[in-house]
Amino acid sequence: MCKPSFLVVPLLVLLTACGGEINQTCIVQRPGLGGYLFVMDRTGAVSGGAGCDDTVLPPRMADNLRFDKLGAEQLEVVFRAQSMLPVDADGNPDFPASTGDVGRGQIGSSPDAQGICAVPSFTTANAVPALSDGTPPDPARSITLSNTRFLSAPAYQGSQAESDATYTIGACSANYHGLLLTPIATCATDADCNPFADPATGRAAGSGVNPFYPVSCSMEVGALYGEDPGTGICWFTGTTFPQVQQ
């Protein structure tokens, strides 16, 4: 006679194997967190001839990039860079008069085995006139991102990326590579980079930086981003991508 257990055990083994791996979505953090801080190092000399030197495009600099996704399938990634913002006649940042300063690229729907979602290339984002008075950018500026890779595994949710970039100011141009991190958390000490609130010590909200990232309070990055002296930014302790604590 067929014992029941002989029927059940193989069936359970079969059922255990079904289902496959779970689907994950490519996540790019939207502007709600204030954008990514892009800290980059120049990978070559500044091109463009006379006057194109470190004072125009320094060997290390920082920018704020705000990404969003568009479309029914959410496969188009767009960004605006703070450095490309137009200014009005008074020199204050203003709304762009057109969307020409938006870079556009395509992203996959799911991360790869390493949890990476790549945008191979973006269209060039050209600074455009200001909405209020049509003041054209002077000199002309543009940024082109490429090889942008977001760390989009569930634990990280796209909050870290690396990218190549080409910045052009007037006739000067240079290539860069760097890491991106969101949110941009200012700090005075390393304790301020704790991702979570600690009401017992009076910290109402945490830095929001992913708890698996090795970060510390970097005054150097704070200075790059134009923070006041004594104000740093929570930034990676290393330089390779991805920056994840083991």
Round the CA-based radius of gyration of the chain to a whole number and report it: 22
Cα(185)–Cα(176) distance, integer angstroms = 23
**Contact with another protein (CB under 8 A) among 40, 52, 57, 67:** 67
Name which of 208 and 242 has its Cβ closer to another protein.
208
- In angstroms, give the least distance from the CB of 227 to another protein: 17
Cα(35)–Cα(6) distance, integer angstroms = 58
Count helices and strands in the chain by DSSP H and E runs: 2, 12
Report the DSSP beta bridge partners of residue 236.
Answer: 215
- In angstroms, give the least distance from the CB of 15 to another protein: 5
Binding residues for another protein, rule CB under 8 A, total: 68
51 makes contact with another protein (CB under 8 A): no
70 makes contact with another protein (CB under 8 A): yes
78 makes contact with another protein (CB under 8 A): yes
- In angstroms, give the least distance from the CB of 26 to another protein: 8
The dihedral over CA atoms of 72, 120, 58, 187, expressed in degrees to the nearest 10, equals 50
Region of 18 please: left (phi>0), alpha (psi -120 to 50) or beta: beta
Which tokens in the block code for residue 104?
């556009």
Cα(175)–Cα(53) distance, integer angstroms = 13
**Contact with another protein (CB under 8 A) among 20, 44, 226, 229:** 20
**Contact with another protein (CB under 8 A) among 43, 47, 74, 216:** 74
CB 209 within 8 A of CB 193: yes
Name which of 44 and 71 has its Cβ closer to another protein.
71
CB 140 within 8 A of CB 78: no
Q: How many Cβ atoms from other residues are within 10 Å of residue 72's Cβ?
A: 5
Nearest C-alpha neighbor of 213 from the set 196, 237, 192, 239: 237
- In angstroms, give the least distance from the CB of 143 to another protein: 12
Interface residues for another protein in 151-190 (CB under 8 A)?
Answer: 153-155, 157, 159, 183
**Contact with another protein (CB under 8 A) among 16, 55, 240, 246:** 16
- In angstroms, give the least distance from the CB of 221 to another protein: 19
**Contact with another protein (CB under 8 A) among 36, 42, 66, 142:** 66
* Chain residues in the site for another protein (CB under 8 A): 3-5, 7-8, 11-12, 15-16, 18-25, 27, 29-35, 64, 66-72, 74, 78-82, 85, 93-96, 99, 102, 153-155, 157, 159, 183, 195-197, 199-206, 208-212
